[in-house]
Every structure is written in structure tokens, then in C-alpha cells.
Structure 1
Amino acid sequence: MTNRCAPTRAARRGHAEGEGQFGLLGERRFAPFFWTQFLGAMNDNVFKVGFTSLVTFQAARFSGVDPGTAAFLISAIFIVPFVLLSATSGQIADKYDKAVLARLVKTFEIVVMLIGGAGFLLHSAPLLYACTFLMGVHSTVFGPVKYAYLPQHLDSSELVGGNGLVEMGTFVAILIGTIIGGAAAGSSDFGAMMLAGACLVFALIGRVASSFIPKSEASQPDLRINWNPISETWRNLKLAKADRTVFLSLLGISWLWFVGATFLTSFFNFAKDVLSANPDVVTILLATFSIGIGTGSLLCERLSKKRVEIGLVPLGSIGISVFAIDLFFASHRIAPAGHLLGVSEFLLALPHWRILADLFLLAMFGGFYSVPLYALIQARSQPTHRARIIAANNILNSFFMIVSSLLALALTSMGVGIPGLFLTTALLNVVVAIYIYSLVPEFLLRFMAWILVYTFYRIRLVDAERIPAHGAAVLVCNHVSFVDAVVIMAESPRPIRFVMDHRIFRTPVIGWMFRHVKAIPIAPAHENADLLESAYLKCAQALDEGDLVCIFPEGKLTRTGDINPFKHGISEILRRHPAPVVPMALRGLWGSVFSRDEDAQWPRPIHRGAMTRLTLVVGEPIAPEDATPQHLQDVVTALRGARR
């Protein structure tokens, strides 16, 4: 059945022909939704930053509030609804029109901000804590709508760009909200009134923007809602665990929220106690962090060539740890001042620029980390329960953020300073990254492939869209070098089950990785007939499950650069499971150190000038009954052409 919410062919073509991800901001299928979520995120931060700033720097006006722990408490209260209501919110988002839900949520936001405005005007901490909780409810309900909306309205080639814009927009909204909230709170005479008015106005504008969101048909209108949050939370987590990669991606995103919450909620105390700076400097810190993650989010589309590139995730985690550790050392070079520094004094000190550089780069690598994971979850989740998978993500996010707040409270109560908290988080990030990538080596292999292809090679793709995005197919390619599989993996829109020589699996590290990404070992009949038959059966099973299987029919690397005769293994695979065969050809790898050329040379990295050029050409799919070894060899030879 055709999805009426899917982007039109003309819209997809216009986006593909050079408008880039920013072209989406001119389209109704994206722009009203973007501004609705932008205004919601901004209002959250006007309120939270205003409240946090008041209780940190003007604690005398709020009885019974501890300024040292208020920021962590506000953060914890905000995320409690994610634990309690995410499961129900995911069901609601799957059952009802997401545009209608967005409008209801924005109407609720107006009511909440009336309560918050009263809290500001009366300097009532209980009212403001209640508003914090209700804004958490608002964000809990909107979260599944937000991320389930995108794959319903964006083409697969737009998904990374759309997520990048949303992430960028969210953190720009945080920046603007921070500036407005901090500036209003800093006005001693009219600060409370300005905060109350600003929050209400932004809620009203957000409600108007939501009126233009196009109809978004329910994914599962016959769903019966389970109102028991405990049992439904468990069911959502089981849905998420059905796909191991998706579930571990959820854990990866939740860990990023742990890291981000630790840094963002520490900025007020970091500025006051470590940098000896006033609240205006907090705005500079948050602005730097927001611009960094926005920059990283936008760069993802360019770095990933508009596809879901999970190879960026390890790159992001490495950068987060490196710059968080450097932030710890940079903080120890800051000499305490006798008074709270203003923005101009802060920016005149050279060591402070290292602080800002670390925050910017840490956040930028956070963008590299988060955007591909969100896009991966959206792309691989079933549309009928995608919102509930997002709800499971929100549940995990909230749990990790609560743990982040508790850890921060525990460490600070033990006398650990904010720089020590940053170092602890950085080291924990290393441990978590190693654990996740050991469970899903696909991330590391894609990272290695991405580094190889984009550091040493400039690759040109010809008709890459012929690699099917869904369904079973057998890919066949000429075998030029030891990195052929890595190059193909880097350019494929989805995972591939490679058929590989059994000797590779004896290599300690590489063998472990390929076993974990379900590569299929094969051996010639004269070496191990049982292993050969097992390989054929595993290929048939993979095709039964709708996977891509890639085989190099030559059976060995070329020693001359010419294509060796194709063997009959491909026929045996197709005999057990007929599937379309997609011929491919690699050009340009012969002569590299990864080939068997006697005059082989290392490929030229970026810093030495023009990169080595290679080409991956993809041919038209061939019906299984026509895919004889000789015919496939002729097609692959023609695709490769004269260049080896």
C-alpha cells in the first residue's frame, strides 16, 4: 500500500539534485515539524536555565533550596516522567495521527507555562519544580512523535540529513534558550517577569507552528493501549531487543545522554567554582557546546554521503573521550580569580580558549556519534512499532540520565570537583565504548572501512543504487586486493554477509571481527568438503532471511590484475536459494600494497596530495536462472573495463 505521508517523487528529486538537507526547511513535510520541536526545546531551556540560574546565583530568594545540588535535582525531576510515561507515550504515537498529537502536546505546554510563570512571579520553588516535572511530561509524550515522524515523511536518502537538522536545531534551540533564560534571570528587577512572559510566548508560537504539520497517518491504528507502565515498559524493551543492533544502538544513545547530562548540568558550578566566572560565561560554555554538536550533526550528512554510516559512531566516541580528558587537564591550568569574571575578562585569558576548544570538539564528536545511531534505529525498526522503539529509547535515556545525576551528586558529596567528574565520565566512556563495540563489531568494521576509504582513497560510485536496500540478493565482484570486502562494506547501504576464505578466521583480531559480523568461511572441496557444504547452506539460510550475500567467484586474489575464471560456487548457492545476482566491479586497487602486484605501493593519504582513486561499478541485477559463472564473468569484466 502506498504511504500518503511519504515524500513525493518531485520532492525527493529536488532534494537529491543539490538542495541538500537545508532544502527540507522549505518543505511543509518537514519545516512546521522542525519549528515545533525547535520552539519546544528552546522553551524547555529558557525555563530550566532561568530556574537553575536563579537558584544558583540568587538562592536567598528561594527558601529551602541548596544551590550546590539544585541543578542536578532539576535535571532529575525533568526526566522522571520519561521513566513513568514513555511506554504509554510510544503506544499513543503508534496508534494516533502524529500531527494531532503534536498539537495536543503544544496546547498542554501553554497550560504548563502558566503554572511556571506563577512560580517565577511568586519565587515559589515548589511551583517551579512542579512545572519542571510537567515539562518532562510534555517532552516524554512528544519524544516518540518526534523521531517516528521523520522516517514517515523523509526518503531514506534524507534520513541522515533530516536527523542532522533536528539535532542541530535542538542544540541551537538550547543555545538560544540558554541565552534568553540566563539573560532574563540575570535581571535582578524584572527577571522573574521576563522569564514568565518569554515561556508563555514561546509556547503560544509553538502551538501555531504545530497547526501546519501535515497529516501523519497512524502506524498501527488498531493497537490496544496497555495503560500499565511497568508491563508496557518491559514489552517495549523486548520489542527493542528483537534486533540486537537496534537495541545496542539504543544503549549507545542513552550513554551519550549520560555523558551530555553530566556536562550540561555541571556548567553552572564549573563556571562558578572552577573558572571563577559569572552566569554570562555559562552562556558562552553552553553556546560553544551547542554549536559544536550542531556542527557535528550537520557534517554527518556530508561525511556519510546521505546514508546511515555507523562507521562514524566509533569516531565520535573516540573524540568524546579524548577531548573530555583534555578538558580535565585544561581545567587544572586555570588560576582562581579574586572575583567572578565577566565574558570579556574570560575571553581575554588564553587558557580559557583551550577550555572552549575542548567543549566544541567534544560536542562535535558527540554529533558524529548520535546522528547515525538515531538514523539506524529509525531505518531498521518496523514502522508498526517504531514509536514504541523510540519510547524504549526514552526509557533507557531517562534511566541513564538519572544515574548520571546520582553519580554527580555522589562524587561531589565525596569532594570530587567538576574537572574530576569530567575525567570520570571520559574514562567510563572508554569502557562503555569497548564493551559495545565488542558486542557489535559491525560498528568497528564500518569505522575501519570508513577510515580506509576516506583517508587513503577517493572512491567514485557508479549506479550504487542498484545494490538493493531490502530483500535477498547475491553480490559478485572481481577480487583485486585484501581490502575488497572493506571497500564494498563501506559503500553498501546495509550489512553484507561476506563469503571469505576460512584461513582469514584464524587471524586473532580480524577473524574475531568477521565471525561477529557473520561472515561465512569457505574452503575448496579438496581441503575441507564439509566446510564447503556448510558454507553453501549458510548462504542459503542468509538469503532465506533476506540478507545480502557477497562472494568473489574467482576464489582467490588476482596475481596479474586480470580477472581469474569464475568458479561454479555461485551456481551452487543459487541452486539452493534462487535470488537476484548483482554484478559489481572494482577499479583502481591493483597496484596498491593490498594487492599482489610485485610493484605495489601504499595508497596516498590526504596529506600527501590527491588521494588514490578507485571506482565501484554496480551492474543491473541478473535473474538467478541467467547467472551462469561465464555470463557473470563477462558482465563483471565489462563493468571493470580496461582499468585494473
Structure 2
Amino acid sequence: MSQNPGALAPDTPLHATDAHGAPNQFALLKQRRFAPFFWTQFAGAANDNLFKFAFTVMVTYQLSVGWLPPAMAGLAIGALFILPFLLFSATSGQLTDKYDKTLMIRLVKDLEIAIMLLAAWAFIAANVPVLLGCVFLMGLHSTLFGPVKFAYLPQVLNERELTGGNGMVEMGTFVAILLGNVVGGLLVAMPRVGHASVAIACVVLALAGRAVAQFVPRAPATDPGLVINWNPVTETWRNLKLAHEQIAVFRSLLGISWMWFFGAVFLGNFPAFAKEVLHGNEQVASLLLVVFSVGIGIGSLLCEMLSHRHVEIGLVPLGAIGMTVFGVDLYFAASGLPPVAGGHTLTSFLAQPAHWRVMADLALLALSAGIYSVPMYALIQLRSAPTHRARIIAANNILNALFMIASSVMAGLLLKAGFSIPQVFLVVALANAVVAFYIFMLVPEYLLRFVSWVLTRLVYRFKVTGEQHIPTGGPAVLVANHVSFVDAVLLMAASPRPIRFIMDHRIFKVPVLGWLFKLARCIPIAPQKEDPAAYQRAFDQAAEVLREGDLLGIFPEGGITRDGQLQPFKGGVMKILERARADGLRVPVVPMALTNLWGSYFSRIEKEGAMVRPFRRGMFSRVGLNVGAAVLAAQVAPEALHEQVSALLARG
């Protein structure tokens, strides 16, 4: 069930372009509503990782701390950083919903400056306990910033910009992590001045982030009357129940947390994988991190192009397939690599062709993870009620932390049981296939959108004109001509929201397509004379769809055309609108026309019928959808709708 219109569109007038003229993701870097925010979060992510990595190197290689052995240093620092996510995420989500998000951003950056000043002193004094305290405080800083980051974007970006905006943020975060680790490692290793250099760099980055934050435009509170519940356990449970009201949102939370589980297994084992399996030195381990980060960044940026600048959750199964395929191939690529006396340097490692397959698998696996995660984040942002969005994202942060901890425990148990690191990677890759299948069966929308994405990219070249007329919120009836057995699938691809279709009951008997339409919860209808009960049941279900604020799709011709011509419209649409008026709903009607589908494989042709000769028009044949302006229900009549659809068809 959809939320109110605000749940599916920006919540404030901060966005400067409409859906038709939305800039691409790189153009957002020139706009004040996005650029200052982007660089603020970039500086924060870079500072987190510069500080943590420099501290880890310092206690591992440079200091002798009896109560913190080098083997435990990385684990202790990582655990301290994650702990605030478990303790304070629920509270941070409430604060973000209650207060202006820009105010929250600036307060968090002020906190970062104070933490980094304390950390700077501790670096110079080599005070490990204080630095550990700063790790916890920087985890708190990230905990507070997390809900702000993902709740701010849908407040300033429209639906067509949201995938690109999330892709830019995801890319920026991983590039910042990479740069922070590299710079932190280089600075702390400098003789005599290393600790002071890290101290200065941390403070400078914090000041730079705060300076840029000053230019972030206001993003007003979405629930200023909220009363804060300071109990993190009950608040987290309440937020998860809120998310569960939207099944697609809740399953997306679990899907994102699984992605962090999956990624943590690989990232956490890169040093040992480089040393024990690839027989490389520290530079090889750093190279793996670079390859993985670049892959995530490229995958995140590709989402906007692959989705045609919509929130396209059909990309999620594509990403999941890639994560499994390249994870499995990584196992085979890394198995049986011969040891080298003294280990590989970076140069000798790159000189081996077998190692390039390993790097390609890692890059493509990470790229797939980027394609998998960005649409899920965008879907959560779009379909969560604005008043609760930050709290739902905060609950997701808690789930992410728990899944990452579970991944460390699982990997440790497998390694202790005698599994090799490549075998651990294989287990996780195969588990990913099981988890993905489970999620897609629970929420068929992912699978359906994937099918429509494949159909409109690999079978047809699908062009939509007038897509801005498809409502992004509230109930509406979409009226289209009926040309082929895949008309509903094509309309799904054009809409950023799910559509429930009323369809002839006989189409559900078509192999494969019938199963897909049942998954899509399409509504079967039979002629009143043939089955009065099924006829009435279809209209009852249609009324329920509109009461829930969703989109209803109908083909008023009553059947697929047999001659390619637009047939007369029947009166079912009027019955639907009369029922909606009785329910007190104002439901617009959106006319649509599918073009150039007649004669394709899925359409009927007088002599051959449908689906009898594949590729009868070759591969990638052009088809289109023309969408007209919405018509008020009071102005709707079957004859007038017929004329409007006919006029849209004439545009070709």
C-alpha cells in the first residue's frame, strides 16, 4: 500500500527541476541543494577512516601496548566504532525526524571538530585509551549522521533524481573510505612527524566538513511534534514495526543489511586473503581494497543509466545475480595459486595473468553490490512516510551493524572449522543466491521489475514519452490500449510505483506470463454473463486498490486487439470511478498508448497468432508508450477516453 503523495515525492520545494527536466547525477554537484551535502558527507567518511586506520597502524606496528595486543587492535577498534550504532541509532532517527536536518548536520560536524581536537592531542601524546574513546565518539558521530544522510536526499531530490543522488553518495562514501585509509596509512608511517601529521589532517578535515556544511540549505523537520523515546530497544522495535507496514520497505531493509553482511566477509578477510591465498604483501592487500572500492563506486554510478533515471528496483536481482556469479568464480580463480618465496610484491603480483582474473571477479562482484544496494536505498526513501523516514533508516543502521557482527562471527567459525578463505567466499556467494531468491519470492515486485527491465532493455527498445504524467503519489487509474500479452509488463517498466492490473481471466492460463501476473497480484475478470461472481469480485478488488492509494491499470477494450486497431472502450472504467466517488476518493484517469507493438512476438497476427515465431521483427525492435495528461474523474467518458488514447497512438 502506498503512503500519501509526500511519501513518493520530495517533501519540500527545495528541488528546482521537475521530473521532466531533472539533471543527471553529475550535474547535481553544481547545485546547492546537493553539492554542499555531498562534500560534507565525503569529508566525514574520509575523516572516519583516516583516523581509524592511522590509529590501527599506530597500535599494531609502532607502539607496544600490553593490554591491547596487535592481533586484537583492529577488532577492538572496529567493535568500538560499531557499538554506538547499536546504542544510539534509534535516538538519532528520532532527532532527525524532529529537527531541521541542516541543523542536525551542522551540530554533528561541530561534534566532529571537538572529537578530532581531542584525538589530535591523543595522537601527539600517544595516549591509546583516549584514542579508543575517540573511536567510540566518532562512531557516535557517524550514528547521528546516518539517518540525516538518507532522509535529506528525498527531501531535496525528486523521483527521477533519487537513484542518481544515492549513487553519487554511495560512490563518494567508498572513495572517501579508500582515500582515508590510504592517506592515514601514509601519514602515520612518516618518521618523527607521522603522529602530528595525522592529528593535523584529522582536524583540518573536520573543519573543512563544517565549513561546507554551512552552505547546505534548510531541510525542515518532518515531525516537529515528535516526543523522543529514549529507550533504544523499544524505539528500535517500534521503528521495525513501522517499516513492516510496507512489506517492500521492510524486505529492502533486510536486503541492504544482507549486502553489508556479504561485503563485510570480503573486506574483513582481504589482508589474510592477500597474504595466505594470493601470497602477496601489504601492497597487494591495499590493491584489493582499491579494486573493491572502485567497483562499488562504478556500480553505484551505473544505476542511474541502467534505470533510465527512475527508482528501478528491477536492478536488484541483476546485482544479486552478479554477486553470486562473481563470488563463485572468485573461489575457482583463487584456488590452487602457487606460493612464491618471499611473497609477491605489487609488481610481481600484477605480472601474473591468473591474478587479473581474481581482480576482475572482485571488481565485478563489488560493481554488482553497488547495483544491488542503490535501488534498495532509493525505494526505502521513496516509500517510507516522511514523518518516519529517518527512524526507519536508523533501524536499518542497527540491522546493518548486527548483520556485520554476525558476518564476522560466521566467518570466524567457518575458518576455525577448517574452511579456507576462498571456501568462505564460496559459502557466502551461494548463500547470497538463497537469500536473494527468498526475498524476491516474498516481495515479487523485485522479480517483476527485473522481468520488465529485461524486456524493455534486451527484447525491445522501449521509449516512454510523457512519463511525468504518471502520478508519483495517491490513487489513479491508468487506461491503455491492449496490443500484446506483455502490455502490463511494459507499463510496469514505465511506472516508478507498482500497478495492479485488471486483466482477462484467460491470460492467467498463458505459461510463464500467467504465473508472473499472479505474482503481480493482477485482478482476473470474467464477462458478467459467464461468471457474475468473478466479475463483481474484480470490481471489489479494484475499489480496494484505489482506497489503499495505489495505481490501478485497465485495458478498456476488454481484450487484445486482433487487427492492430483500437477497439471500442467498454464501460468498466465508469463503474470503477463511480465506486471511487462513493468511497469519497478523487481519482484521476491517465490515458496511455502503447505504440509499435503490433506485429511483435507477443502480439496476435491474423494468420500466426502470438508467441509462435520468435524474433519475427528481429532483436531490439522499437516500441513506445505515450502518456497523456491526467483527466479528472468528473470529465471521464468511454468515448472521450477512446479519442484521447487514439490521439496518443497517432503520435507514433
**TM-score normalized by structure 1?**
0.93
CA shift for structure 1 position 90: 0.4
Cα RMSD after superposing both structures? 2.6
Deviates more, 1:404-413 or 1:541-550: 404-413
Distance in 1, matches of 2:499 and 2:22, equals: 29
Distance in 2, matches of 1:329 and 1:89, equals: 43
Q: How does 1:284-323 map to 2 (within 5 A)?
A: 284-323=287-326
Q: Secondary structure of 1:550's match?
A: strand
**1:396 correspondence with 2:399:** yes
- Residues 295, 365 of structure 2: 8 Å contact kept: yes
- Residues 328, 429 of structure 2: 8 Å contact kept: yes
- Residues 586, 640 of structure 1: 8 Å contact kept: yes
CA shift for structure 1 position 624: 2.7
Count how many residue pairs are aligned between Structure 1 and Structure 2.
Answer: 637
Distance 1:53 1:278, change over 3 A: farther
2:500 to 462, 477, 497: 497
CA shift for structure 1 position 198: 2.4
- Residues 6, 155 of structure 1: 8 Å contact kept: no
CA shift for structure 1 position 381: 1.1
**1:602 correspondence with 2:614:** yes
CA shift for structure 1 position 272: 2.1
2:388 to 375, 380, 385: 385
Distance 1:486 1:82, change over 3 A: same
CA shift for structure 1 position 186: 4.5
Distance in 2, matches of 1:625 and 1:99, equals: 43
2:28 alignment partner AA: L
Distance in 1, matches of 2:280 and 2:127, equals: 27
**1:346 correspondence with 2:349:** yes
1:12 to 17, 24, 28: 17
Match of 1:27 in 2: 31
Match of 1:582 in 2: 590
Distance in 2, matches of 1:69 and 1:274, equals: 22
In the TM superposition, what whole-angstrom CA distance separates every residue of 1:447-484 from its partner, at most 9, and x where no partner exists? 00000101121122221211111121111111111111
Q: How does 1:169-318 map to 2 (within 5 A)?
A: 169-187=172-190, 190-318=193-321
CA shift for structure 1 position 62: 3.9
CA shift for structure 1 position 512: 4.9
Deviates more, 1:64-73 or 1:200-209: 64-73
Match of 1:42 in 2: 46
1:593 to 596, 601, 606: 601
1:613 to 614, 622, 627: 622
Distance 1:525 1:416, change over 3 A: same
CA shift for structure 1 position 628: 2.7
Match of 1:80 in 2: 83
- Residues 7, 29 of structure 1: 8 Å contact kept: no
2:580 alignment partner AA: H
Match of 2:584 in 1: none
Match of 2:648 in 1: 639
- Residues 88, 143 of structure 2: 8 Å contact kept: yes
2:460 alignment partner AA: Y
CA shift for structure 1 position 506: 5.2
- Residues 10, 154 of structure 2: 8 Å contact kept: no
- Residues 79, 401 of structure 1: 8 Å contact kept: no
Q: How does 1:38-187 map to 2 (within 5 A)?
A: 38-54=42-58, 58=61, 61-65=64-68, 67-68=70-71, 70-117=73-120, 120-121=123-124, 125-187=128-190
- Residues 10, 156 of structure 2: 8 Å contact kept: no
Distance 1:135 1:572, change over 3 A: same
Q: Which runs of 5+ in 2 are unaligned?
A: 582-586
**How high is the sequence identity, in percent, across the aligned residues?**
53
Deviates more, 1:316-325 or 1:514-523: 514-523
Q: Which runs of 5+ in 1 are unaligned?
A: none
CA shift for structure 1 position 19: 4.7
- Residues 150, 159 of structure 1: 8 Å contact kept: yes
Distance in 1, matches of 2:169 and 2:554, equals: 39
Distance in 1, matches of 2:278 and 2:51, equals: 24
Q: Secondary structure of 1:384's match?
A: coil
Q: Secondary structure of 2:463's match?
A: strand
Deviates more, 1:177-186 or 1:99-108: 177-186
Distance in 2, matches of 1:263 and 1:360, equals: 12
1:618 alignment partner AA: V
Match of 2:425 in 1: 422
Distance 1:642 1:22, change over 3 A: closer
- Residues 22, 161 of structure 2: 8 Å contact kept: no
CA shift for structure 1 position 339: 1.9
Distance in 1, matches of 2:22 and 2:222, equals: 31
Distance 1:514 1:406, change over 3 A: same
CA shift for structure 1 position 70: 4.5
In the TM superposition, what whole-angstrom CA distance separates every residue of 1:293-330 from its partner, at most 9, and x where no partner exists? 11111111111122110000111111111111111111
Deviates more, 1:545-554 or 1:266-275: 266-275
Distance in 2, matches of 1:536 and 1:17, equals: 37
Q: How does 1:546-561 map to 2 (within 5 A)?
A: 546-561=549-564
CA shift for structure 1 position 369: 0.9
Distance 1:4 1:473, change over 3 A: closer
- Residues 88, 227 of structure 1: 8 Å contact kept: yes
- Residues 75, 265 of structure 1: 8 Å contact kept: no
Q: Secondary structure of 2:26's match?
A: helix
Distance 1:198 1:341, change over 3 A: farther
1:419 alignment partner AA: P
Distance 1:59 1:5, change over 3 A: same
Distance in 2, matches of 1:440 and 1:322, equals: 22
Distance 1:518 1:286, change over 3 A: same
Distance 1:19 1:157, change over 3 A: closer
CA shift for structure 1 position 336: 1.8
Distance 1:553 1:516, change over 3 A: same
1:369 to 372, 378, 382: 372
2:467 alignment partner AA: A
Distance in 2, matches of 1:182 and 1:384, equals: 42
Q: Secondary structure of 1:546's match?
A: coil
- Residues 97, 216 of structure 1: 8 Å contact kept: yes
Moved over 6 A (4+): 1-5
CA shift for structure 1 position 54: 4.8
CA shift for structure 1 position 120: 4.4
Distance in 2, matches of 1:233 and 1:80, equals: 15
Q: Secondary structure of 1:12's match?
A: coil
Q: Secondary structure of 1:338's match?
A: coil
Match of 1:464 in 2: 467
**1:544 correspondence with 2:556:** no
Match of 1:514 in 2: 517
Distance in 1, matches of 2:126 and 2:336, equals: 38
Distance in 2, matches of 1:386 and 1:305, equals: 25
In the TM superposition, what whole-angstrom CA distance separates every residue of 1:569-607 from its partner, at most 9, and x where no partner exists? 2222222224322111111111111111245753489xx
- Residues 10, 155 of structure 2: 8 Å contact kept: no
- Residues 59, 66 of structure 1: 8 Å contact kept: no
CA shift for structure 1 position 263: 1.5
Distance 1:567 1:514, change over 3 A: same
Distance 1:642 1:261, change over 3 A: closer
CA shift for structure 1 position 196: 3.2
Match of 1:441 in 2: 444
